[in-house]
Amino acid sequence: MSASITWRTVMRRIENMDFESKMRMVRRYPKRRLAIIIGVCIFIVFLFTRGTSNSSSFSKQQQCSAEKLKLWEKEINEFDTGINNQSVEFVGNGYFGVDSLGQLRVQDKNRVLDVETNFYPGLKIEIDGPQPVEVTKMTDFKNGLYKVVRCFSMDGECACVTSQLYAHRTRPNYFVQIVQISNPTKSTVRINLARISSNWWSHSKSGDLSINQRQIGGASYAIICTDPPGKVIVAQKREESFRFTCSIVSKPTSEEASRDAVRLFQSGKDAKTLDAEHFEGWTKMHLTGFTVSNSKAPNTLNGDRINATKYILLSNWRAPTIEYGATLETVKPLEALARKSELCYTGHSNLLFPSRLWQDWDTPTRLIELVNAWMLTFQKRGCTNLLSTGAIGASQAFVQSLTASSYHDSHLEVALDAHDLHREMSFYGVPVYSNMGVVGTIRVDIKLDEENRPYFLVTSSNQLFACDGGCLDTPVSLGKTETQLPVKVTKPVTSLLYIAPSRRHLELLKNAIHVSEVGSAPAHEEEVIEMHRSGEATGGLTTFWVFVGVAIVAFHLVVAKIVWNEYRKGDMTPYNPYLRNRYSSLRPH
């Protein structure tokens, strides 16, 4: 109690002092001066952090959107879903596509969906009311979906409208849009759903169905879509879902196109089956894949751009081997072409960034340019036969181009540069062929040991055989259990890994590879590894931490100076001149 009274008394006295008296007190007592300086610094830091927190505060609709995005948090963190700038405003299946403007695109002579049709199959969504709306764009790369989430606040609660679009993967004549409205508020939500009409298309009727027709290139197109409802009212504490479908058909004559469009629209599968078939088709196209550890280094390729680019490529290719109606008679010739994909992929790895192969896709024109760049690269690097199998072959060629993997006389070679293996990566689902066809698929993980030396972990779906650089060591057997192989460099340079269905084949291959030197790959410098981990070679020591370090050192220097002064004075009354004079008079001279 007495301590608190004393403290209040001291504070009261200080408040009653004028400014000059306070300054004299500070100059007279250096300890207090130091305390005041520290207090001022703490106050400034408090104001800075307070201002930062206020500037980063979210509006209510942004908080609603952030809460909604938690449903896809795992997919976003693993780069399987891209949001906003990392999203791709495009859906397609190689037969048709819908671009960022909502316009239907088809192909004429090229495989690329570069022909504009001036038809808009998707619905335009407008939310009634003056409330601000937070719009988030998302692309599900694994399942071939494009989503737009619109969230807003009413009565202090969150309401959201989610639009989901896809071009069906295995039934290429179908376009699907699903609109979900969630209204947990105490108010009514009103939205308007309408489709943009085009004068470039003729309109006719077949019973209750409206048919849109137009001649594009050498084909006649007919499109039938679910009629939009216009105004939609969702009562409080309710959720509503609306599904819209378009059947899109191209035939030599308009009569054939109209007839088939009507038939497909009326005989469409139920919603659950149609969705399940679409997702299963995309799953099959991702059986061959590539992953790489995330890097914070500048000018570095990461999983977000890799997955988005792969999605763009697959959306512009048809998949004849998995489409509805595919038969053994139509699939077998395509599989035979895949076995003839020798020399695909020749050349260096395409992981180099920046590059025309990894340009942005922010407009429909740039997106089509990106697809053309990849298609030309594949064709000139020996992948023409593989691309003839469709989107699944394109997926395999994409992975082979990233890993510089190519087929040579019944074996697969991985020709990555050992100096580029300073990040952990893996590729999987790459087939290994024999004269009888596919004999197995492989998965290769590239890891770093304690000394930052790269090495391989290899598994296979069936028994295969492998040898490392130069193939000088005895081939090892592969299976479902991981097999570790070193990364070796040779002179002259050879591939880092060889995989074949036959041990004998690799033993003979050893005699055909002529090298003068072979050794383990050198360890990567710690600065390079740290650059990828933190974005800075110094281990993340930013300017802020430099400032903190300097402040700490300065503080300790001040304390040391005070201690040194005390030591030189030789008494315990450092900063009271009245007591100092008193004790000094008693000291013998």
How far apart (Å, rounded) are the C-alpha atoms in residues 398 and 395? 5
The answer as to whether 350 is a domain residue is yes
Across the beta sheet with 91-92, what order do the strands follow? 91-92, 96-98, 104-106, 115-116
Q: Which amino acid would we find at residue 74?
A: K
Query: How far from 62 is each of 71, 137, 147, 370, 498, CA to CA, in Å?
Result: 15, 13, 17, 33, 52
pLDDT tens for 266-304 read 987 789 999 999 999 999 999 999 999 999 888 889 999
| pLDDT at residue 580 tops 60 | no
Query: Is 583 a domain residue?
Result: no
For residue 26, is pLDDT > 70?
no
Do residue 367 and residue 387 come from a single domain?
A: yes
Q: How confident is the model at residue 197 (pLDDT cuts 50, 70, 90)?
A: confident
Question: pLDDT (tens digit, 9 = 90+) per residue, 46-58?
Answer: 445 444 444 346 7
The predicted structure's pLDDT at residue 342: 74
CB atoms within 10 A of CB 260: 16
Cβ burial 552-572 (10 Å sphere, 16+ → b, else e)? eeeeeeeeeeeeeeeeeeeee
DSSP string, 269-301: PPHHHHHHHHHHHHHHHTSSEEEE----STT--
- pLDDT(538) > 70: no
H-assigned helices in 108-219: none
Confidence of residue 573 (pLDDT cuts 50, 70, 90): very low
Last residue of a domain, one of 55, 82, 99: 55
Higher-confidence residue of 438 and 551: namely 438
Domain assignment of residue 281, yes or no: no
pTM here is 0.83
Cα torsion through 80, 86, 91, 97, rounded to 10: -140
Rounded distance between C-alpha atoms, residue 141 and residue 73, angstroms = 14
pLDDT at position 22: 57
* pLDDT computed for residue 29 by the predictor: 53
Residue 575 confidence (pLDDT): 46
Same domain, residue pair 384 and 490: no
- How high is the pLDDT of residue 564? 63
Claim to verify: residue 237 and residue 121 sit in the same structural domain: yes
Eight-state DSSP code of residue 356: G
Q: Does residue 395 form part of some domain? A: yes
pLDDT over 70 (residue 127):
yes
Residue 406: C-alpha distances to residues 180, 344, 348, 362 (Å)? 46, 5, 11, 32
Identify whether residues 546 and 534 lie together within a single domain: no
Q: Which of 270, 304, 329 is the last residue of a domain?
A: 270
Q: What is the pLDDT of residue 255?
A: 95
Kindly tell me if the per-residue pLDDT of 348 is higher than 50: yes
Tell whether 153 and 236 lie within a shared domain. Answer: yes
Give the pLDDT score at 456: 96
Shared domain check, 557 and 510? no
Q: What b/e readout covers 211-241, taking b as 16+ CB neighbours within 10 angstroms?
A: bbbbebeebbbbbbbbeeeeebebeeeeebe
Question: How confident is the model over 161-185, as pLDDT tens digits?
Answer: 999 999 999 999 999 999 999 999 9
Neighbours of 394 (CB within 10 A): 27
Residue 126, phi then psi, degrees to nearest 5 = -125, 135
Check: CB of residue 119 under 8 Å from CB of residue 344: no
Within a domain: residue 427? yes
Mean pLDDT of 237-253: 95
Q: Are residues 68 and 188 in the same domain?
A: yes
Question: Which tokens go with 383?
Answer: 């992948």
pLDDT at residue 5 in the model: 47
Pair (484, 549) in one structural domain: no
Q: Does residue 28 have a pLDDT over 70?
A: no
Mean pLDDT over 299-313 rounds to: 95
- Could you tell me if 290 and 386 lie in one domain? yes
Asked if the structure places residue 279 within a domain, the reply is: no
How many structural domains comprise the chain?
Answer: 5
Mean of the per-residue pLDDT values for the chain? 85
- Summarize pLDDT for 77-104 with one digit per residue, the tens: 999 999 999 999 999 999 999 999 999 9
**Is 364 found in the same domain as 422?**
no
Which CATH number belongs to the domain containing residue 258 in this structure?
2.70.98
Question: Does 139 fall in a domain?
Answer: yes
Could you tell me the pLDDT band of residue 148, with boundaries at 50, 70 and 90? very high
pLDDT band at 448 (very low <50, low <70, confident <90, very high): very high
Most confident of 18-27, 347-356, 535-544: 347-356
20 and 159 part of one domain: no
What pLDDT, on the 0 to 100 scale, is given for residue 533?
A: 80
What whole-number distance in Å separates Cα of residue 259 and Cα of residue 224? Answer: 11
Over residues 544-548, mean pLDDT: 59
Of 270, 294, 312, the last residue of a domain is: 270
580: in domain: no
Confidence of residue 44 (pLDDT cuts 50, 70, 90): low
248: which DSSP letter?
Answer: E
Whether 569 shows a pLDDT value over 70: the answer reads no
Mean pLDDT within 555-562:
69
Range of the domain at 387: 286-405
pLDDT value at residue 162:
97
Q: Which of 367, 371, 226 is nearest to 313 (CA)?
A: 371
Residues 304 and 385 grouped into a single domain: yes
Residue 260: closest CA among 174, 367, 348, 165: 174
Q: Which pLDDT does position 53 carry in this prediction?
A: 42
Task: Lowest mean pLDDT of 66-70, 318-322, 337-341, 459-463, name the range.
Answer: 337-341
